Structure 1
């Protein structure tokens, strides 16, 4: 049997091939571990107990007793907040005091038979929380017609018909409000509401009819919607994100992806815009002529929009900040790497600085961050630049390093601008209710219905952000809309509405 003769060239080729295969195996193993973590690991991005233990060890080595005590107190406070089993509140704290009260008095039969023989000396009170289910009823509007008794030449008199939210429709403001809240707050699709109305109340309202009402109401609300857009743009700070939602296209035999673009300004509200694509041109309506802070994730559409020659004025006027939560997420996806875990632990220090600022509103955010967060970030950058040439670019760790270093300046902007948040989580939280909704209704019924939902979601999510009861707000708005002028719409945004109510109460 003839043996194969290996030359030095063949040997070097085999070594290179072996090294390449090892590298590929390592990458595949890393991907498998990452997928296993996503499938079976914790979805929360909060620090694991092991990482907290590493942090405590570091504090012991530094022997800073005061800082250690503060950290333990902060951790205990965080664990208390995270605990799902907090101390149960009393009944008075859980039930509003201004609820209507119905009193039922129960006397013994003997007292009822001979009340003159008994004297009340005390009472035993038992409080219950009751609810009246949804109740349909007819509202009949009667306009009497009159004629003058002694002068038949004068035309009969009749009061003008009140302006309706939806003309020539039997839908009242209360019915429309109920459908809006059920769909956009309680995430009940229109076809489920149709079934509920028919099965429980014997009332038949087709989903097509309700969809038409939603469209007409959204047209009315567009006045306030545009005023909300102006408020967010004028605030000088926008957090932007986007999420996909499928929609039905009659020209296609499948449901393509559309996108709700979300723009959030802390203290002002959230505005959603619907587009059938994720192209950078979708940003035109919000960012053209905008000046101020813009905070986004790493989606390239934002930077490509700013880098267009036609947007040179906006690029000069906009400070484009990045999100530390997305950077941290990249390192959390690196399984079993001590250096990546160390970086996650260091990023946790940045978030402790933010927690300190939230608990002490009198502190100057920019100055406090420069003092406490800047040294941490310098340490992170040193590690990243060292590891950049040690890691494979296609590995999860290599991708995380490149992602962070490419956006390093944008990640540093929050140190100098006190208004900036450390991450984009506030706008992501605003998107979550829409995600629950799309799990139930699966897709929008047409390309046009996306903007209908965007308008209504904008007002409801703004109410949620500003701690406003959407039922109270929308009832007043829907009642006022038929007689509202365009110039009055600006005073009906949720922020202005809340401010006016607080001023009136004072």
Structure 2
């Protein structure tokens, strides 16, 4: 009887433990679903104030933190640049005469009126619609009286397809890569300008330019590979394959002045390995494991991104208000960077000293808080995942204490991918992997132009004329950050 009672108790104990485990699992699932629902509602229906605020905005609201004086300096600089740009615009003077019926003195009725100075001046900024022209290039041909020698002026330089000039090609590429305008929309705009061009023709010339500029894009990527600090990120890209769209990826690798995109058929670590295998330096990335192959021992040193950590804790707020403590700790880290920027000390030894004192103290407090919170939250709950992500990335996240040149976040790479994401939204997919590579290469050149304050349309129009005859040993001279416009005179239009 006792034996039966003990067995009975053991069975009920096991059943109770099973129900407890099931209950815990259900709680985790419900918490995860509630968090996903709250995130979806905030994303779709939420007010702007309910979305992740910028660090700069939160710092301005923090007590004891002054708005950075550079904000006014930036405003004044923008106004000055606008005035300078306005002064360089082509000017056309339009004279307005007083109507004949009004050429009479309103006081005495006299008609002997004389001009009073140059007249009242009013300036308007007017948009003159773009136009397409057909250029006829006449090459002078000279013959010697001896009858044996004939000299012909050089032909206009362009890529092999030759029917369209470099300015036209540069406009098509810039409109797609810089302004995210699909080729079919460009075809409609060209038709309005009086030049109907088939979308397939624009597609052909776009990829012709992509193939012609492969050496430049490859050299740009090689320079990024050699940099001591590189930001990296990736985003999906759809590729048309046998009538269906499959998922590929676009990777961005950037430095302060260079941006390189790489098209890849997958998100595996092969692409980072191909780009950075065998190199040293720092690689600033999120927690994606695809970068592990190049950040293992004897590889690049991995630097973590605090913006990703901040986003995870913010997403956990609706179901776990205690996440606010983590957000305050992270804001304190950015406060140190804000103070260094305000004092003009970014990248200096003073900046590093502030990190190793104030920031290190904040990190110590945050680490203690994370260790205390981990046992209290299910692993698959939003806060549980944020805590474990932070714990797992801690070594990379604290790497910024080693050097003042290491940023706290990877926002620079995310900004570089924004143009690709906008383009993806507009043109939906690329036609093939080769098309994806052409798009990535041309986007690298255009994005690097923008980072360095270079007009990408002027750059491409000039470089396309020079590529065929430029020495390969001096290819770097044609890269966007080193480019100088050619001094070649414009063709004679007489």
For the criterion TM > 0.5, the same-fold answer is: yes
Are residues 1:318 and 2:300 paired?
yes
* Mean CA deviation greater in 30-39 or 285-294: 30-39
Q: CA deviation at 1:340?
A: 1.4
* Mean CA deviation greater in 423-432 or 92-101: 92-101
Deviations 1:269-289 (A, max 9, x none): 110011111121112331023
Residue in structure 2 matched with residue 284 of structure 1 by the alignment: 273
Q: CA deviation at 1:464?
A: 2.0
Q: In structure 1, what is the Cα distance between the partners aligned to 2:248 and 2:112? A: 76
Structure 2 vs 1, CA of residues 51 and 187 (structure 1 numbering), >3 Å: closer, same or farther?
closer
Counterpart selection for 1:245 from 228, 234, 237: 237
Residue in structure 2 matched with residue 31 of structure 1 by the alignment: 33
Are residues 1:443 and 2:433 paired?
no
Counterpart selection for 1:97 from 83, 87, 110: 87
Counterpart selection for 2:166 from 156, 173, 190: 173
Question: How do residues 323-342 of structure 1 correspond to structure 2 at under 5 angstroms?
Answer: 323-334=305-316, 335-342=318-325
Q: In structure 1, what is the Cα distance between the partners aligned to 2:93 and 2:446? A: 35
Residue in structure 2 matched with residue 411 of structure 1 by the alignment: 397
Q: In structure 1, what is the Cα distance between the partners aligned to 2:153 and 2:188? A: 37
Decide whether the 8 Å contact of 2:295 with 2:301 is kept in 1.
no
Structure 2 vs 1, CA of residues 121 and 444 (structure 1 numbering), >3 Å: closer, same or farther?
closer
Question: How do residues 44-443 of structure 1 correspond to structure 2 at under 5 angstroms?
Answer: 44-46=51-53, 68-69=63-64, 71=65, 73-74=66-67, 93=83, 96-109=86-99, 118-121=114-117, 123-149=119-145, 151-152=146-147, 154-155=148-149, 157-162=150-155, 164-198=157-191, 200-250=192-242, 253-266=243-256, 268-307=257-296, 315-334=297-316, 335-363=318-346, 364=348, 365-443=351-429
Give me the TM-score of the superposition, normalised by structure 2: 0.84
Q: Secondary structure at the match of 1:248?
A: strand
Structure 2 vs 1, CA of residues 171 and 326 (structure 1 numbering), >3 Å: closer, same or farther?
same
Gapped regions of structure 1 (runs ≥ 5):
57-67, 308-314, 502-506
Q: In structure 1, what is the Cα distance between the partners aligned to 2:32 and 2:68? A: 32
Decide whether the 8 Å contact of 2:259 with 2:447 is kept in 1.
yes
Q: Secondary structure at the match of 1:245?
A: strand
Decide whether the 8 Å contact of 2:236 with 2:247 is kept in 1.
yes
Q: Secondary structure at the match of 2:283?
A: strand
Gapped regions of structure 2 (runs ≥ 5):
105-109, 488-494
Q: In structure 1, what is the Cα distance between the partners aligned to 2:205 and 2:337? A: 45
Alignment RMSD, CA only?
Answer: 3.6
Decide whether the 8 Å contact of 2:250 with 2:261 is kept in 1.
yes
Decide whether the 8 Å contact of 2:31 with 2:381 is kept in 1.
no
Q: In structure 2, what is the Cα distance between the partners aligned to 1:50 and 1:91? A: 25
Q: In structure 1, what is the Cα distance between the partners aligned to 2:322 and 2:58? A: 12
Q: In structure 2, what is the Cα distance between the partners aligned to 1:263 and 1:354? A: 24
Residue in structure 2 matched with residue 21 of structure 1 by the alignment: 23
Q: In structure 1, what is the Cα distance between the partners aligned to 2:272 and 2:57? A: 42
Deviations 1:389-410 (A, max 9, x none): 2221121211111111111011
Give me the TM-score of the superposition, normalised by structure 1: 0.82
Structure 2 vs 1, CA of residues 356 and 50 (structure 1 numbering), >3 Å: closer, same or farther?
closer
* Mean CA deviation greater in 10-19 or 209-218: 10-19
Structure 2 vs 1, CA of residues 115 and 277 (structure 1 numbering), >3 Å: closer, same or farther?
farther
Decide whether the 8 Å contact of 1:51 with 1:345 is kept in 2.
no
